[in-house]
Amino acid sequence: SSRRKALAPTYNPSDPYPKKLAALTYLFEDIPDNFDQPWPGRASAPDNILVELIEEDPEIPRYVYHSPHYEFICDAPLKPHLVKRFATLFEATREYCRQIPIATKKAHIAGTKYRNRILLYESVATYVANGGPPSSAGVYMPGKDIIMVPLTSLGVKKIGSSYSIDYREDNKTLPHELTHQLTDHFYYEQGSMGWFSEGLAEYIAVTPYRSGSFNVKLAVNSIRAYATEYGRKDQGGRALGTEISAPPLSQYMLQDYRSFVANANFNYGLGLLITTYFFHMDGDGDRKAITAFLKTLRDGKKGEEALSALRQNRTFDELAKDITKGWRSKGVRIQFAPEK
C-alpha cells in the first residue's frame, strides 16, 4: 500500500541525510586524516550502547530507533534491548572503519546531527519488494546512502506476538555492506572501484568478530583461509586455492565495475588479497604506497593517474611480482599474466 511505502525515508533540503555520498563532504572539513595512526589490534563497539525508540506509527507501520551512530527504521515493533543486540555489530563495524588509518572520514561523522540509516524489514518478501536482492542478507543502496536488511539476517524471529533474537556472529554480509556505507566516495572512483572498494569491505567482513569486537590481529590468517579455502570452520569462503592465475594487474585494477561483478567470486577474492598486501606486506609494511594512492584519490585523481601513486615508480609487472612475493611467504602463489 502507499502507506507501507512510507517506511522508506524521504529527502528534503533540510534533511541532514544526503542522497549521494559526495554530499557529505561538507561534514569532512574538521576531521583530520589518520594516515599516520597505527593499525588497530582490536576494534570494539562502545560500552553500554543506548538504544531509544524515537518514533512509532503502527498504521504505516514505521518504528524508528536510534543507537549512538545509527538510525534503524523498521516495519515491525521491536524492544530496544533487541535492537541493542544487533546494533552492537553495526557500532563495532563503524568503530573498526574509524580506526583503520585510511582516512575514510564518513566513519567519523555520525552522531547527533547525522546517523547512518538502516531500513529493517520484517519479511524477506517485503525486503525484496523494496529492492533487496533475492537471497541476500542485506544490501547497501548508494543512491540513497541506506542499507536494507531483512530481520532474519539479524537473527530476529517472531514468536507469537513478540520477537526474539539469536544473532549469528559468523555473518559476513552485514559488515561488508556496512563498510560500503562508511567508505568515502573518493574510494569509489575508477582505479579503486572494484579491487579496493570491495577488497576493503571484504577485509573488514572477514576479520574475526565476536561479542561486539573485531580481533584485527587475526585478520590476515582469516583472510588467507577465506580467500583460498572455505573460511574459518568452513563457513563461506572464495576457495580460490593457493595457486591463483590472474589477468595482467593493470587490466584487473582498471576494469569497469560491471566486468568486476560479472566474475564476483574470483574478483572479490583477489581484491581482498591485493588490498591486504598493501595494508600489511608492501615495502616495509609502512603502507606508503596505499597511503599515497588514497591521498591521490582524495585530491580528485583517478584511473591510471591514481594508480601511478600506488605503483611508487614500479611498473605494473614489477608491482605484480611484489604482490606475488608478499603472498608467497604465506603459502599463496598469485601468478599475474604479463602486461601487454
pLDDT digits (tens, 9 = 90+) for 74-99: 999 999 999 999 999 999 999 999 99
- Name the strand (E) or helix (H) holding 245: strand 243-246
Residue type, position 110, single letter? A
**pLDDT > 90? residue 278:** yes
Query: Are 145 and 20 spatial neighbours (Cβ–Cβ below 8 Å)?
Result: yes
Average pLDDT in the chain = 90
CA 31, CA 241: separation in Å to the nearest integer? Answer: 41
State the pLDDT confidence band at 315, using cuts at 50, 70 and 90. very high
What tens digit of pLDDT does each residue of 216-268 get?
Answer: 999 999 999 999 997 555 457 999 999 999 999 999 999 999 999 999 999 99
What tens digit of pLDDT does each residue of 162-184 get?
Answer: 888 876 666 789 999 999 999 99
pLDDT at position 5 is 39
pLDDT at position 8 is 43
φ and ψ at 53, to 5 degrees?
-80, 115
CA 334, CA 278: separation in Å to the nearest integer? Answer: 15
Q: Name the β-bridge partners of 64.
A: 55, 73
Picking from 22-31, 79-88, 185-194, 319-328, which range would have the lowest pLDDT averaged per residue? 22-31
Q: Which three cell numbers stand for residue 81?
A: 534491548
List the one residue out of 284, 283, 303, 280 whose CA is nearest residue 293.
303
- Residue burial 21-42, b: 16+ Cβ < 10 Å; e: rest: beebeebbeeeeebeeeeebee
- What global pTM score does this model have? 0.91
CA 18, CA 43: separation in Å to the nearest integer? Answer: 28
